Amino acid sequence: MLTLSSDFGSPYPAAMRGVLLSDDPGAKLVDVAHDLPRQDVRAAAFWTRFVLPEFPPAVHLLVVDPGVGTDRAALVVRAGDHALVAPDNGVAIPAARVLAAADDAAVEVFAYEYDTPASNTFHGRDVFAPAAAAVHRVGVSAAETLDRVVPTDDYVDLRLPTATVEDGSARGEALVVDDFGNVITNVPGSFLAGVDDGTRVRVNGESAPVGTSFASVESGERLVTVGSHGNVECDVNRGRGDEAFGLSVGDEVRIEQIR
């Protein structure tokens, strides 16, 4: 199984599908998303860390690559029974940590050495899809038997920023905004553990109710809730939380419980 994630929009991902299927017409391809926020390595790391652990063992092709055409390396990152194939910009590392931990394994990073690609602008087709096809062909556990695959310690690490939580107060940031306009912060859901539905907190100084689900508040009303990734979200029931809370990706988010 091969999954595909990118910020390529359409129809570029189809070229990657073609490359993978030319290598193995029987390969099972599963799209994760191709509308990841453009050239936003951190958002791609967040979403793939969220989604990929739902999958059975697979090779995950993940191309969000602001450095395309430079000499940045291509990586094969093994995480237990999974492998990620991605540019060396940190994008694959947060998901790899979670996948490896689930398999009680360590993250193993390999450089994938590639020849001068056919283009300087579409390494998804010319570098990463062929690399993913090669790993898929030999199998994740035998990835290092490929000639082009060399173990390395020299790679770009990425850790999503963590929030500071102390005694009823959390200081974090808006990590991503989803399609619904929900603002996903890095404040852990545990911050709201035991807080009753309807209890009010302050978000950057403004009062808003905690809701255990969207239906806790009326349509059009704001709520602070714990999302399906376990993070605190600032949302609006049937509306856009980013607009109602005035929050954009990267903004500081302070949440205070009111005594």
Which residues contact a second copy by CB under 8 A? Answer: 1, 3, 5, 8-12, 14-15, 17-19, 21-22, 25, 28-33, 35-36, 38-39, 47, 50-56, 66-70, 118-122, 125-126, 178-180, 212-216, 225-228, 233, 238
> Nearest-CA neighbor of 210 among 186, 192, 184?
192
> Nearest-CA neighbor of 83 among 65, 109, 51, 63?
109
78 vs 125 by CB, closer to a second copy: 125
Q: What is the DSSP-derived secondary structure letter of residue 239?
A: B
> Nearest-CA neighbor of 28 among 71, 70, 58, 49?
58
62 vs 149 by CB, closer to a second copy: 62
Query: Least distance (Å) from a second copy to the CB of residue 126?
Result: 7
Q: Residue 165, exposed/middle/buried by CB under 10 A (0-12, 13-18, 19+)? A: middle
Q: How many CB atoms lie within 10 A of CB 49?
A: 19
5 vs 149 by CB, closer to a second copy: 5
Residue found under tokens 């191309």: 63
Query: Least distance (Å) from a second copy to the CB of residue 122?
Result: 3
Query: 236 — phi, psi (to 5°)?
Result: -130, 135
88 vs 149 by CB, closer to a second copy: 88
121 vs 164 by CB, closer to a second copy: 121
96 vs 149 by CB, closer to a second copy: 96
Q: How far apart are CA 139 and CA 192, in angstroms?
A: 42
149 vs 247 by CB, closer to a second copy: 247
Q: How far apart are CA 22 and CA 238, in angstroms?
A: 43
Cβ neighbours of residue 113 under 8 Å, at least 6 residues apart?
Answer: 74, 148, 149, 150
Query: Least distance (Å) from a second copy to the CB of residue 159?
Result: 21
Query: Least distance (Å) from a second copy to the CB of residue 58?
Result: 8
Cβ atoms 1, 31 nearer than 8 A: no
Query: Least distance (Å) from a second copy to the CB of residue 59?
Result: 13
Query: Least distance (Å) from a second copy to the CB of residue 167?
Result: 25
Cβ atoms 62, 34 nearer than 8 A: no
